[in-house]
Every structure is written in structure tokens, then in C-alpha cells.
């Protein structure tokens, strides 16, 4: 079990790490809150609230640095909004999906860590209908699990060749922002209980997101971002395996 100060520090560090690759950190927040012993009914809405703060800052930073593609974003979010909202109502049976998802994340981590000469080759167009279906699937999974979806979307964008690394991070940040809002809207309809410590955690995540999104959008190179993302994905995989 973690004490409150250690948990706040972990949330701060998670925000730095995740926002540096265009993510908001929900999987990291959920892992930290699980070790802290927060009630399961409070974990998912709390992670989504923290995600909103982190994703807002990450979106603003990556867009201001020119790392965003509206043509990619709009079809994805058109599918994800209804998916995330519906997912927010549902309860996902963890034993069914966790091993498969953990394996998929681990494969993605290895693939990203492996040096690729074409990592920043000119992107190819994403078919609109494919984007809508991808967004719908990720949105549903995001609402079910309480994460924003970037941990699934970024590898897809990179592996399919639809975006270069920093643009994938910028699109993922905006995608997470919309998904988190939709998932939270679905979850709040059930009037969940939010922890009293939430204001302190929001400040920690806000500061961490400011640092991480600045590093990711303006300081780190594409190779560094890919390696950080590989670590993030591998960590999420381990977290799913150990429960």
C-alpha cells in the first residue's frame, strides 16, 4: 500500500512520462491508485478526470508545435465518441481481455523499440471508414477500462504508416481528450464517488503534464519518443499481467 504523498508523486511522474508521448497517463494512474487501495468504483472516473487535465495540456502543446492532422483526427473521433460513452456504462470482465491485451501491448513495445529506417517516412492516407471503425473500437475499450485510448491509437497510427511519430502523438492527445470526456459523461450518469484527495492529484498531474508535453512536443526527437512509448507500453503490459 502506498501513502498519499507517494501516490501524488507517482501521479506526477506518470503525467510527465505519458504526456511526453501524447498520452494522458490513465493506465499509470490506475496502477498507482490500485497500489494505494482506492475503491475500484472510484478508480475509473478518477482516472478519466485526471486524463482530461493531462490531455488538454498535451493537445495544446503538440498542436501549437504543429504536430496535428485534422484529417486523421476527425474520422477517429467520430467513431470514438459513441463508443466511449457506451463503454462508460458497461463493466468489462477483466479475465477475458487482460492476457490478450497485455500480449498485444508487449508486441507493440518491442516493435517500437526496434530501430526502423522508415519510422518517419511520408505518411499514407487513412481511409475514412477505417478511421471511424478504429475510433469506435478504441472508444468502446477506453470507456470500459477508464483509459483515454492513446495507448492503443498511437501504435496503430505508426504501424499503419498513417502518421509520423510526433503527429501520431498530437492526434492521440486530442483523441484522448475527447474520449475521456465521453467516457466520463457515461460514468457520471451513475453518480460515482470521487476521492477527497482529487484536487491535490489534479495539481500534481497538471504540473507533470506541463513538463512532459513541453519535452515531447519541443525537445525530444522522434527516436526518443518511440523508445519512451515502448517503455510505456511494456509497463502497461506488465501492469495488466500482474493485475
Judge contact between 150 and 175, C-beta under 8 A: yes
Number of domain units in the chain? 1
Q: Return the pLDDT at 33.
A: 83
The CA distance from 180 to 1, in Å, is 27
Q: Return the pLDDT at 243.
A: 61
Long-range contact pairs involving 107-110 (C-beta distance under 8 Å, separation at least 24): 108/155, 108/159, 108/233, 109/229, 109/230, 109/231, 109/232, 109/233, 109/234, 109/237, 110/230
Which cell numbers hold the place of 100?
A: 490478450
Work out whether the CA dihedral 174, 176, 182, 184 comes out positive or negative.
negative
Judge contact between 30 and 42, C-beta under 8 A: no
Whole-model pTM above 0.75?
yes
Q: Return the pLDDT at 139.
A: 86
Q: Return the pLDDT at 158.
A: 86
Q: Give residue 183's domain range.
A: 4-242
Residues 135-154 as b/e (b if ≥16 CB within 10 A, e otherwise) read bbbbbbbbbbbbbbbbbbbb
Task: Enumerate residue ranges in the chain where pLDDT < 50.
Answer: 116-118
The CA distance from 6 to 153, in Å, is 30
Amino acid at each position: 500500500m502506498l501513502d498519499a504523498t507517494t501516490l501524488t508523486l507517482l501521479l506526477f511522474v506518470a503525467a510527465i512520462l505519458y504526456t511526453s508521448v501524447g498520452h494522458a497517463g490513465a493506465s499509470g494512474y490506475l496502477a498507482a491508485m490500485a497500489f494505494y487501495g482506492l475503491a475500484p468504483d472510484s478508480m475509473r472516473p478518477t482516472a478519466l478526470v485526471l486524463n482530461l487535465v493531462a490531455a488538454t495540456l498535451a493537445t495544446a502543446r503538440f498542436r501549437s508545435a504543429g504536430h496535428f492532422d485534422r484529417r486523421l483526427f476527425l474520422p477517429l473521433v467520430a467513431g470514438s465518441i459513441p463508443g466511449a460513452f457506451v463503454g462508460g456504462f458497461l463493466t468489462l470482465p477483466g479475465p477475458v481481455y487482460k492476457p490478450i491485451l497485455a500480449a498485444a501491448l508487449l508486441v507493440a513495445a518491442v516493435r517500437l523499440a526496434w530501430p526502423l529506417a522508415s519510422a518517419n517516412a511520408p505518411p499514407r492516407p487513412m481511409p475514412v471508414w477505417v478511421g471511424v471503425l478504429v475510433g469506435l473500437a478504441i472508444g468502446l475499450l477506453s470507456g470500459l477500462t477508464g483509459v483515454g485510448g492513446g495507448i492503443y491509437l498511437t501504435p496503430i497510427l505508426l504501424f499503419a504508416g498513417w502518421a509520423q511519430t510526433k503527429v501520431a502523438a498530437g492526434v492521440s492527445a486530442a483523441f484522448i481528450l475527447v474520449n475521456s470526456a465521453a467516457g466520463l459523461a457515461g460514468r457520471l450518469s451513475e453518480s460515482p464517488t470521487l476521492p477527497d484527495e482529487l484536487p491535490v492529484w489534479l495539481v500534481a498531474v497538471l504540473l507533470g503534464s506541463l513538463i512532459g508535453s513541453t519535452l515531447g512536443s519541443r525537445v525530444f526527437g522522434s527516436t526518443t519518443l518511440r523508445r519512451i512509448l515502448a517503455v510505456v507500453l511494456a509497463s502497461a503490459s506488465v501492469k495488466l499481467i500482474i493485475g
